Amino acid sequence: QVQLVEAGGGLVQAGGSLRLSCAASGRTFSSYVMGWFRQPPGREREFVAAIGGNGNTAYYGDSVKGRFTISRDNAVNRVYLQMNNLEPEDTAVYYCAARRSAIITITTNMYDSWGQGTQVTVSS
């Protein structure tokens, strides 16, 4: 397993932007599919985005397509989530997750390691 630490959450007005980052430990970062999930207040954790080990393939949840972009830098063991045109409905705790596999999945319980989460609050 890898250790994951998220950063970059905060309070932003609707229409604004935030960039989340996730730092991973270990020397085999490129072997992991990386994902971002979120848990809105009172709701279950949901898929946001995922990216393959080489960074060439990414998937997005329907509610964030066209607004969020996932990327990774394997040289520094980091994955990012650029969030633009934020909406109040994006308010949630955002989690970084890792899966040691070449297969990208949107399923929460297929990920092996999780960060502690970072709060994103979007005001209207």
Residue 1 pLDDT exceeds 90: no
Q: Are strands 78-83 and 18-24 parallel, antiparallel or unpaired?
A: antiparallel
- Residue-wise pLDDT for 56-73, tens only, equals 999 999 999 999 999 999
**Euclidean distance between CA atoms 20 and 65, whole angstroms:** 16
* Beta-sheet strand order (sheet of 68-73): 4-7, 18-24, 78-83, 68-73
- The number of CA neighbours under 13 Å toward the Cβ of 11 is 2
> pLDDT at position 27, please?
83
Q: Mean pLDDT over all residues of the chain?
A: 96
Q: Tell me the per-residue pLDDT of 21-55, one tens digit each, with 9 for 90 and over.
A: 999 998 899 999 999 999 999 999 999 999 999 99
